[in-house]
Structure 1
Amino acid sequence: MGISKISEFDCIIFCVYAVEYRTVSGVAGPLVILEKVKGPKYQEIVNIRLGDGSTRRGQVLEVDGEKAVVQVFEGTSGIDNKYTTVQFTGEVLKTPVSIDMLGRIFNGSGKPIDNGPPILPEAYLDISGSSINPSERTYPEEMIQTGISTIDVMNSIARGQKIPLFSAAGLPHNEIAAQICRQAGLVKRLEKTTNLLEGGEEDNFAIVFAAMGVNMETAQFFKRDFEENGSMERVTLFLNLANDPTIERIITPRIALTTAEYLAYECGKHVLVILTDMSSYADALREVSAAREEVPGRRGYPGYMYTDLATIYERAGRIEGRKGSITQIPILTMPNDDITHPTPDLTGYITEGQIYIDRQLQNRQIYPPINVLPSLSRLMKSAIGEGMTRRDHADVSNQLYANYAIGKDVQAMKAVVGEEALSSEDLLYLEFLDKFERKFVAQGAYDTRNIFQSLDLAWTLLRIFPRELLHRIPAKTLDQFYSREAASH
């Protein structure tokens, strides 16, 4: 009896069954170690079924032959080596995205927690994102208006920029973040017009807000603030609470940025991404590294933390041929107010400047306590000037910096020699220092100043000095803006 040959037209159906492994050999913190696994892949997603029937998700962190190390997003409590089964999916971690995510609240894993209907996905995207071709990147231009004078005038943020807020415990970084969310908008280009806009243009503007490791009080503050002030409709909120699994903090910013990339590059929106608190993210990274028994780097943080932070921060930017942009404002708290701590130190190397929140200003009841001297926006020059804000913007900013720095020096000298030994010019700088902090830096949490109001306020302060002391402003600009008559127009 002969065996019939299979012709090329015959259809062969292979039935592939998903293999479940009961080869858990150990649990270390948020990690599960598996033995005798066939063909595990790096970053592959696994489904873990516990003895009580509940399921959890994990991701392969390390592969060594038939051994796999899996990080479990929902925590490893209750996992044993007798009843726990693990199934490898062959997929990387993807998140559903949709334009309908605006106005919604999600947990750190991207599941809705606002009692609303489930999201109908328009696409499933890899949370690691795809790297942007450097030649396709467009230089960040045009300003995002925050409504805060010290940021808009002296540390202007360009669309597509990444600029962190350096804060510390007990400082009002949450209030500043909420204020930026309420007030942020786009500034229209002013083509050969003296028309003054009353505020940021809100069309086509969206905010993705990701909170990592925050307590319930902070989470409720953000939810309540967005809902009560009408900004929720353009915000997508991701909340990873302090009592949520630490490992979830590692994927929360990536899910938020994947959502932002979809809104920016597929829906054409200008997206502002606010990530708080990146120090909690770095601590989660350290915890996973310690569980893997890796050689620790500075202060126990893993040696690859710089690379890991870069995979988050470098997802900001603009792409040629796409209308949208992603601007990032990560917020991090410096332990013991130490700016040399690895998290702010490495962040400062990657990002394009920083905004420094100062404890001394906070102690003197000045809000927002932003110290402009250590603050910097490296891309400010491309976001301001004629046609984008106003032609005097750069000169005014330089003059404010110079006068404030001199005022600080005079204040230090006064503490040594006394006020009687100061010249009349020194006294002008002291007067400027006081008014600058009380009138320009200080503004209410619900006080929105557009860029033109902030520039006019800056000129009011600069008029404390005679023209000849304003060395950093060209005569042509002084002719137009210095006189009090010009201020009244």
Structure 2
Amino acid sequence: MTTQEGTTPFIVGHRTVTRIAGPLIVATGMDGVGYGELVEVDTGDGVVREGQVLELDESLAVVQVFGGTVGVGRRTTSVRTRGRAASTGVGKDYFGRVLDGMGRPRDHGPEPVPEDYRHVNGLPLNPIARAHPDQFLETGVSAIDGLLTLVRGQKLPIFTGAGLPANALAARIAAQTRAPDDATEVVVVFAAMGVTRREAAFFRTEFSADAASSSVLLLNLADDPTIERLLTPRVALTMAEYLAFELELHVLVVMTDMTAYCEALREISAAREEMPGRRGYPGYMYTDLASLYERAGRVRGGSGSLTQLMIVSMPDDDITHPIPDLTGYITEGQIVLSRDLDRTGVAPPIDVLPSLSRLMNAGIGAGKTRADHRGLADQLYSCYARGREVRRLMSIVGESGLPQEDQRYLAFASAFEATYLDQGDTRRTIAETLELGWRLLDPFPAPELTRLTADDLAEHHRAGPSA
């Protein structure tokens, strides 16, 4: 018996469907069927749909039907088992291809030739075999490289709201991310879940031509079966794991939008009549998300890496919503997009104050970017936070009522947003980002720059006005 594409020695049919609920069917007499096994659902009218076993209780099985259950009758439907688990092909032949959420061609091209097949749920890494992520990835975006540094093997979400350009930022990062101290190219596996056709056309345009040789694009459209949405990130991560851990490549996996994924999870949970948790989401959503996010990392002795960047839409811009809340517990920081910055035309509108990269220190240590990176980042944070406070104070007392020191911080906050955060379509190297940060600090007298060492000031700071 084979667990991938190919012939199987037997097919077993079961005409024991007892219930149909949403995308689920319940069948009895399913002895010998395994959890996660793929099955075929024959509706009796010539239509055969694929499904997967979600739950087993002795001889009773709950099967999720990928094509939905519209038009499926209980008496005429049979479930055929083939004894194979959900798997996907992997290999370099998938580069440049546009696939659906289950890894099948969506670009009308020929079937890719896989180098192997892998189970979509992957195999968990032994924690002892994991290498600590500590290698810098250059995204070309100053707010990230300078203040929220991304490292290989990290999982870092982008928290966004409706209408904010999170997809454009994710596509931009995917197209221009580099490993500056490694000749190995960064390849991209991009998984879009529940997107509209307009968004799908945008992604196809972004990943055409130059990016085609080093990217795989999986598109699950909003009108595709809901159940397919649950498989999309798993198929993407399975492909990425093979490229990273067996072919020793640096792989960046971008998943958008995890909120659409969680909505599909809630829909399936409701169809299974499970006890709901917070806001109707299943109680196991934390575990389910962790099973995806924890597939990022590096392996000791290997040169490859799997880095995750996931988009999380916050309903009503609420960062305490269950989806961003649980994501924040699992991942190593967050990038938060600001609606106020977006209104003023800052692109990308990254609000660095509530944002964080918990692995930044590991990625910018001695010999990684520059030894003065940490102090510069802390000083930029401090000055920008003070400038934002002064801006709120100015709305009460007016700019003329501010002392000269506060006016410097107010001017810094405006300049920081206009030059450092707002970079349009320009890609900056880490050296350009750091130099821009130093020049923004020039108007301050040295005694006010308390986060910097005397050596850093002597090397980089151009003395500002006297205190």
Provide the residue aligned with 1:19 in structure 2: 12
- Are 1:181 and 1:231, in contact at CA under 8 Å, matched by a contact in 2? no
Residue 143 of structure 1 corresponds to 136
Counterpart amino acid of residue 385 in structure 1: G
Compute the displacement of 1:17 (Å).
4.3
Give the distance between the partners of 2:225 and 2:10, measured in 1 at CA. Answer: 31
Q: Which amino acid aligns with 2:411?
A: E
- The CA RMSD over aligned residues, in Å, is 1.4
Tell me if 1:360 matches 2:340. yes
* Residue aligning to 2:300: 320
Are positions 1:106 and 2:110 aligned together? Answer: no
User: What is the distance in 2 between the residues matched to 1:37 and 1:418?
Assistant: 75
Quick check: 2:178–2:185 contact (8 Å CA) kept in 1? no
Question: Relative to 1, partners in 2 of residues 1:281 and 1:299: Cα closer, same or farther, differing over 3 Å?
Answer: same
The answer to whether the Cα contact below 8 Å between 2:415 and 2:440 also exists between their aligned partners in 1 is yes
Task: Normalising by structure 2, report the TM-score.
Answer: 0.95
For residue 90 of structure 1, report the CA deviation from its aligned partner: 2.2
**Residues 257, 313 of structure 2: 8 Å contact kept:** yes
Q: Determine helix, strand or coil for the equivalent of 1:207.
A: strand
Partner of 2:428: 449
**Residue among 203, 210, 227 paired with 2:208:** 227
Shift of the alpha carbon at 1:78?
2.5
Aligned-partner Cα distance in 1 for 2:156–2:9 = 49
SS at match of 1:164: strand
Correspondence for 1:480 among 444, 459, 462: 459
Alignment deviations for residues 425-460 of structure 1 (CA, whole Å, 9 cap, x no partner): 10100010000000110011x210011101111111
Counterpart position of 2:373: 393
Match of 1:80 among 73, 80, 84: 73
**Equivalent residue letter for 1:170:** G
Picking from 228, 241, 254, the partner of 2:221 is: 241
Counterpart position of 1:274: 254
Runs of 4+ in 1 over 3 A off after TM superposition: none
Choose from 402, 407, 418 the match for 1:427: 407
3-state SS of 1:63 partner: strand
Instruction: Tell me the CA shift for residue 237 of structure 1.
Output: 0.4
Q: CA deviation at 1:142?
A: 1.2
Unaligned runs of 5+ in 2: 1-7
Opposite residue 135 of structure 1, the aligned amino acid is I
Moved more, 460-469 or 271-280: 460-469
Q: Which amino acid aligns with 2:356?
A: L
Match of 1:380 in 2: 360
Instruction: Tell me how far 1:50 sits from its aligned partner.
Output: 2.4
SS state at 2:269 partner: helix
If the length of structure 1 is used for normalisation, what is the TM-score? Answer: 0.91
Moved more, 53-62 or 335-344: 53-62
Confirm whether residue 297 of structure 1 aligns to residue 272 of structure 2: no
Corresponding residue number in structure 2 for 1:194: none
One-letter code aligned to 1:481: H
Kindly name which structure, 1 or 2, has the bigger radius of gyration based on alpha carbons.
Answer: 1
Matching residue's letter, 1:56:
R
Partner of 1:37 in structure 2? 30
Structure 1 Cα separation of the partners of residues 247 and 72 of structure 2? 42
Identify the residue that residue 71 of structure 1 maps to in structure 2: 64
Distance (Å, rounded) in 2 between the aligned partners of 1:210 and 1:31:
24
Identical amino acids, percent of aligned pairs: 50
Q: Does 1:179 align with 2:179?
A: no
Structure 1 stretch displaced more, 241-250 or 24-33: 24-33
Structure 1: how far apart are the matches of 2:368 and 2:111?
40
Secondary structure of the corresponding residue to residue 156 of structure 2: coil
Measured after TM superposition, the shift of residue 39 of structure 1 is 2.6
Matched residues in 1 for 2:320 and 2:378: separation? 27
The aligned residue for residue 371 of structure 1 is 351
